[in-house]
Amino acid sequence: MDLAATIHNIERSSSALSTQSVAQMYERLPWFRDLPEQQRAMVTVVAEAGVNQFLQWLRSDGKDLGSSDEVFESAPVRLARTISLQQTVALIQIVIDVVEEQVPQLAAEGEEVPLKEAVLRFSREIAFAAARVYARAAETRGAWDARLQAMLVDALLRGDSGDELMGRAAALGWSETKSVTVVVGNSPGGEVSLVLHAVQRAARRHGLDVLAGVHGRRLIVLLGNAEDPTAVVDEVIGLFGDGPVVVGPVANGMAEAVESAAAAVAGHRAAVAWPEAPRPVRADSLLPERAIAGDESARRTLRDGIYLKLKRSGGELLETMDAFVSSGGVLEGASRELYVHPNTVRYRLKRIEEVTGFNPSKPHDNFALRVGLAIGRLETGQAPAATSGETR
């Protein structure tokens, strides 16, 4: 249908339509009034572009539907970051309402119905255009965030300075956090952006700050302000692929997160040596495996926390631990070897646990104690003391 006369009327009224639309936005949308002046001006430009695009669309007899995205070309990304898609739809609705109200004045004689139909069809195209603009903006932001997170993870694993890490985290909107915990597991595979999106979504459910990156075949997650990181990871364990999931020690802010990352990565590498390890498992629970795998931090921790502490607590604890090991973990056997009452051995084993944090009667703790003693003696060159045979 030829709408030449109607198009001419709209051309003459285009400025007035844009002005009325913005006035209605002021009146009906409180959040629009609160926008900075620059952002309101941006919306005004888009409204004017919408009217002009509607005219172009009418001139093409409604066939040039693919050009509707041009309405947002004046301010696509900035507008998408200023207001939400829902707010944009509200703005579009106001512009359409204003045009519909003016149909009797704009339409030439006999052209009111075709004009109303054209307005409805074009409003649908504009709504789809807005959705496309926001989708592209989200994809661009998501891709950029994924790159920034990957760079942060790389910097973390390299052991970069705390200031540099905090700068990268701030660029990702990471809030000031009291604690940071690094979690390492296998990636579930598939598109990296989808993996990271799943992590972000799960973190939001728990009210946590989170950053994540896929590094090779590993998924590395930074949790902020998690009171019980292991419990949180236990609830989202499905985000990781098969294999061990290791929770690093809690770090006091991003500046100290390098140590948590190093422990978690070392634990993930060494976890294969403990097939019965829980999932998730704390990196500190893998100290003996990490030490055997060559982790110097774990070696120092075991030496200082086991050998040196027991040595400072008196030779009888070292002697009792050696006897308990040589007897195959049988309390009575250790008491016979030491020529002491079983209750004495029992008391000393309890003291060993109090001093080191490891229970000699638990298999994996016993293993950690043995590795710690071996490392300490290797580094000091001191052999186990012979059993005195003296009755106590």
| pLDDT at residue 65, rounded to an integer | 46
- How many other CB atoms are found less than 10 A from the CB of residue 56? 13
- List, for residues 138-189, the tens digit of each pLDDT value: 555 555 566 666 666 677 666 666 666 666 665 555 656 678 888 999 999 8
The whole-angstrom separation of Cα 233 and Cα 182 is 11
Positive or negative torsion for Cα 325, 327, 329, 330: negative
The whole-angstrom separation of Cα 309 and Cα 346 is 19
CB 308 within 8 A of CB 372: no
Query: Are the folds of 159-275 and 296-380 the same?
Result: no
- Predicted confidence band at 297 (pLDDT cuts at 50, 70, 90)? very high
The whole-angstrom separation of Cα 14 and Cα 287 is 73
Q: Which of 251, 239, 253 is CA-nearest to residue 184? A: 239
> Peptide bond before 342: cis, by omega within 30 degrees of 0?
no
pTM reported for the whole predicted model: 0.61
- List, for residues 227-283, the tens digit of each pLDDT value: 788 888 887 888 899 999 999 998 887 777 888 889 999 999 999 999 999 999 999
Q: Provide the CATH number for the domain formed by 159-275 in this structure.
A: 3.30.70.2730
* Alpha helices per DSSP H over the chain: 4-28, 30-33, 37-59, 76-82, 85-101, 103-106, 112-158, 162-171, 192-205, 229-235, 257-270, 287-292, 296-302, 309-312, 315-326, 331-338, 342-356, 363-380
**Mean pLDDT (the chain, rounded):** 79
Q: Which of 129, 151, 211 is CA-nearest to residue 177? A: 211
Name residues whose C-beta falls within 8 Å of residue 387's C-beta, 6 or more positions apart in sequence. Answer: 319, 323, 337, 338, 339
How far is C-alpha 283 from the chain's CA centre?
19
Mean local confidence (pLDDT), 83-101: 76
* Span 296-380 CATH architecture: Orthogonal Bundle (1.10)
Q: Which residues pair with 180 in a beta bridge?
A: 224, 251
Q: Are strands 209-215 and 218-224 parallel, antiparallel or unpaired?
A: antiparallel
- List, for residues 317-335, the tens digit of each pLDDT value: 999 998 998 888 888 988 9
Q: Which of 157, 139, 30, 25 is CA-nearest to residue 91? A: 25
> Which of 28-32, 95-99, 360-364 has the highest mean predicted lDDT (pLDDT)?
360-364
Q: In the chain, what are the domain boundaries? A: 4-139, 159-275, 296-380
- Predicted confidence band at 92 (pLDDT cuts at 50, 70, 90)? confident
| pLDDT at residue 165, rounded to an integer | 65
| pLDDT at residue 30, rounded to an integer | 87
